[in-house]
Structure 1
Amino acid sequence: MNEIFDTIIVGAGAAGLTAGIYASRAKLSTLILNEGAVGGQMVLTEEIANYPGVPTTKGYMLANNMKMQAKSFGCKIKSNVKIKSYKLEGDVKNIELEDGRVFQGKSVILTPGGRPRSLNIEGEDQFKGKGISYCATCDGDFFTDKEVVVVGGGNSALEEAVALTTFATKVTIVHQFDHFQAFEHAIQEAKNNPKIEFVMESELRGFYGNGQLQKVKIEHLPTGIMSELSTDGTFIFIGYQPNTEDLADLIELNMRKEIVVDSDMKTSVKGVFAAGDCINKKYRQVTTAVAEGTIAALSVSEYLRS
């Protein structure tokens, strides 16, 4: 007969690994199912310099330390698996993999994470972490006294562009329309900053460099004229996409497809909790994911006791 775990965690990013640490240390039988490489967005971050108590470290190293810590408490981790279906209702939850294996748990913590929307243009994959970033808070200080490009025209793009001027000598905002979609105060703050320049009605068409990003190709949409701009880095802020496609009919999501949770990380389904970049929240940092993973695991412990 299959083992019924006290909790099954879906996803091994910062939130999932933290939940695994707390749940397994609380002597709950814990299984993490992860579709990709352990570490989630952490492994895509070249360096992490703002994790409290940890000197600047590689993202993959922080992820590996979390993984080893979880396993040391007895947490089981199965990586590179593909989930076929979920059955989340009832006292025992079932998760079926595409290879036919079925895992059962008395509770589930959903931490599938999310991903920044990509431009999907030439060179983007090549220069991720080598000049291309999706997080100014994470990577802004690596561009001190350098020139950078920001792509986007919403609140995040303009606010992050202003934040980047703390480090960069020049920030060029490239936006596809002749107007911004941000709040007026964000627009004015960006326009009033002497370090920020604007390239409107334009889109990036490619990233180029030799090992490290050195320039971008830009198309002016009304004319089709192509130009090149030398840059040390590019920050892309065109939205965020939670990895919740398989959960749409099973659990309450908001209009942005994020999982709706309360302050205890409880979802709309009894015994199912969620944490990390997949939930409804404003800030997406390793530290916020860790906090939410902690709360989710503690809430699971309380749920199982009751």
Structure 2
Amino acid sequence: MEEQVIEHIKCLIIGSGPAGYTAAIYAARADLKPVMYTGFVPGGQLTQTTDVDNFPGYPDGIMGPVMMEDFRKQAERFGTEIRFGYATSVDFTGPKHSVTIDEVKQITADTVIIATGATAKWLGLESEQKYNGFGVSACAVCDGFFFKGQDVAIVGAGDTAAEEATYLAKLANKVHMLVRRDEFRASKAMQNRVLNTPNIVIHYNTEALEVLGDDQAVNGLRVVNNKTNDESTLDITGFFVAIGHKPNTEIFQGWLDLDDNGYIITKADSTQTNIKGIFAAGDVQDHIYRQAVTAAGSGCMAALEAERYLAAKEGDETFIEEDLYIATPNRSKV
């Protein structure tokens, strides 16, 4: 049987979106010859949004998919090789990091920049997906501005939901907050902020049943009280889902340090993970800001750190193998 030839890459970028594409731009300009695998959704979450009004450089706003196409063209202009495919497994036990693509192609890389992002959790309503980007959103900071002076609803009971509800209250006329149980899960401080905001109306024991609309935009929300089974309709034009995000880190479990929610832990003021030569940028390691501009900034950081890591590794003969990586995966070998 002919031996499989394993491709080797100096800088591998897993995932696209603002973090991945910005990392690619900087890595390509540094002559790291980056190769990017886009993942299932080339361009990431922004390809599923409509207007982006808060990214610098677009004074009139821009459609999310168009913006990501601009990012892609700029990355390719400097020599990034962009491939469609997704990473299905990794092996970080050696100084050359091994990644399997689409379950069949094995490659190795001197440096890996992880920009796989995070996926918003949804309620699972068909109507929720129908109006996603047309009145339904999972990011109040991103889209709240479009509902200035209007009535909106938000679902969630944790700190994120409380924070986004108070943010929306500064813009919207009224914010209906749907809490599934008879109490919040948010911290007392966040609860107090919500309770002391006069234009937030809290609906306890309430769940969303259907987002209503005219096939073009949202104009209502059908809800049910899960204690009495009474149904009612809220007159709203925007519906925000704030029940959390899930970082796309499944294949890195056991290799990289993750927090309790699955986000990759990076060193302070850095994108460096617990394994040398492995960097994480964007929403995959950021559970606080989750903005395109902060993701792009961390993508820049990751590429600069990858460049410096390779320069040090190639230029300092005092490096020994143990200094180049930390190979302590938390998984048993069978």
Shorter-chain TM band:
over 0.9
1:39 equivalent to 2:40? Answer no
Task: Determine if contact 1:143/1:233 at 8 Å carries over to the other structure.
Answer: yes
Task: Determine if contact 1:276/1:293 at 8 Å carries over to the other structure.
Answer: yes
- 1:104-253 matches, within 5 Å, as 104-210=108-214, 211-253=216-258
Q: Cα offset for 1:63?
A: 0.7
What per-residue deviation string (whole Å, max 9, x for no partner) do you get for residues 186-221 of structure 1?
222222222111111011111121221111111111
Residue equivalent to 1:289: 295
Query: Aligned equivalents of 1:225 and 1:183: distance in 2?
Result: 29
What per-residue deviation string (whole Å, max 9, x for no partner) do you get for residues 84-125 of structure 1?
321223221221123522222111011110011110113111
Matching residue's letter, 1:145: G
- State which drifts further: 141-150 or 92-101: 92-101
Q: Cα offset for 1:260?
A: 0.7
Task: Determine if contact 1:178/1:200 at 8 Å carries over to the other structure.
Answer: yes
SS of match in other structure, 2:89: strand
Query: Aligned equivalents of 1:18 and 1:196: distance in 2?
Result: 38
Residue equivalent to 1:298: 304
What per-residue deviation string (whole Å, max 9, x for no partner) do you get for residues 51-85 of structure 1?
12222111111111110000001001112x23232
Task: Determine if contact 1:95/1:102 at 8 Å carries over to the other structure.
Answer: yes
Select which of 267, 284, 297 maps to 1:278: 284
What 5-or-longer segments of structure 1 have no aligned partner? none
SS of match in other structure, 1:74: coil
SS of match in other structure, 1:67: helix
CA-based RMSD: 1.3
1:73 equivalent to 2:73? Answer no
Residue equivalent to 2:107: 103
SS of match in other structure, 1:53: coil
SS of match in other structure, 1:172: strand
Query: Aligned equivalents of 1:248 and 1:123: distance in 2?
Result: 33
TM-score for the superposition, normalised by structure 1: 0.96
Query: Aligned equivalents of 1:193 and 1:5: distance in 2?
Result: 53
Query: Aligned equivalents of 2:16 and 2:66: distance in 1?
Result: 14
Task: Determine if contact 2:14/2:86 at 8 Å carries over to the other structure.
Answer: no
Query: Aligned equivalents of 1:82 and 1:60: distance in 2?
Result: 20
Alignment CA distance shift 1:170-1:28 (3 Å): same
Aligned residue pair count: 305
Query: Aligned equivalents of 1:285 and 1:18: distance in 2?
Result: 14
Query: Aligned equivalents of 2:87 and 2:277: distance in 1?
Result: 19
What 5-or-longer segments of structure 2 have no aligned partner? 313-334
- Which 4+ residue blocks in structure 1 deviate beyond 4 angstroms? none
Query: Aligned equivalents of 2:174 and 2:115: distance in 1?
Result: 37
Query: Aligned equivalents of 2:210 and 2:179: distance in 1?
Result: 15
Rg larger in 1 or in 2? 2
Query: Aligned equivalents of 2:52 and 2:112: distance in 1?
Result: 29
What per-residue deviation string (whole Å, max 9, x for no partner) do you get for residues 265-289 of structure 1?
1111121110111115421100110
Q: Cα offset for 1:2?
A: 4.7
Alignment CA distance shift 1:157-1:64 (3 Å): same
SS of match in other structure, 1:50: coil
Query: Aligned equivalents of 2:92 and 2:291: distance in 1?
Result: 28
Select which of 8, 15, 18 maps to 1:14: 18
Task: Determine if contact 1:89/1:270 at 8 Å carries over to the other structure.
Answer: no
Query: Aligned equivalents of 1:167 and 1:87: distance in 2?
Result: 47
TM-score for the superposition, normalised by structure 2: 0.88
Query: Aligned equivalents of 1:143 and 1:49: distance in 2?
Result: 13
